Amino acid sequence: MWLSQHGYFGSLRGSGGNVSARIDDTTMAITPSGVKYQELSLNDICIIGFDNKEIAVKKGRKPSIESGMHSVIYQKRPEINAIVHTHQTYGSVFAILNLPIPALFDEVSWALGKIIQVVPYALSGSRELAANVGAKLSNNANAYIIQNHGILALGKTMNQALLHAELLEKAAQIYYLALSTGKPVTELPIS
């Protein structure tokens, strides 16, 4: 609900984006497709296996079409326990520019990684998109931009994943404003 209230799903009325949490080594809880976040209840959350088989899904609900993308992250990054996928404004600017965001501040570098990389485009919910995300995970970053789509923020806890989504949006907004001046942008001197 907090993400929706603060515009991270792209619209206060929309249901774009999704959130999941690892339950154990083979299952996750994930938001359903097509339900407005203001109308979600605990009973609407879908429990599915990493193989995308439904374990506990309320009648009339379907797990997010991005379940495969979440599954691949949990399987390749066992330290990750929560994932936030949003269509937040400034992060989405860099998604359509197909432009990574470099390390600009210590706090962002420490929390998200040295660079917020762009995952190549593939159709939403496709196996190709899940594979594209999986191919980027070896850098151990906690945030990614999905080309022409949105962002991913990962965390050991849900609060950490939410913080990472906020930090990505802060970095994206500041980077966008800095680039708009036409002056050189100073990146952190990290190797």
H helices of the chain, in order, are: 2-5, 67-76, 89-97, 106-112, 127-136, 158-180
36 and 14 in contact (C-beta within 8 Å)?
A: yes
82 and 20 in contact (C-beta within 8 Å)?
A: yes
Please give the DSSP secondary-structure letter assigned to residue 125: T
Residue 66 designated active-site: yes
Cα separation, 66 vs 159, whole angstroms: 21
Among 39, 66, 128, 187, the one annotated catalytic: 66
For residue 166, give every residue at least 6 positions away whose Cβ sits within 8 Å of its Cβ, in sequence order, or none: none
- DSSP 3-state assignment of 29? strand
Cα separation, 190 vs 79, whole angstroms: 24
Q: Number of H helices and number of E strands within the chain?
A: 6, 10
By annotation, the residues acting in catalysis are 66
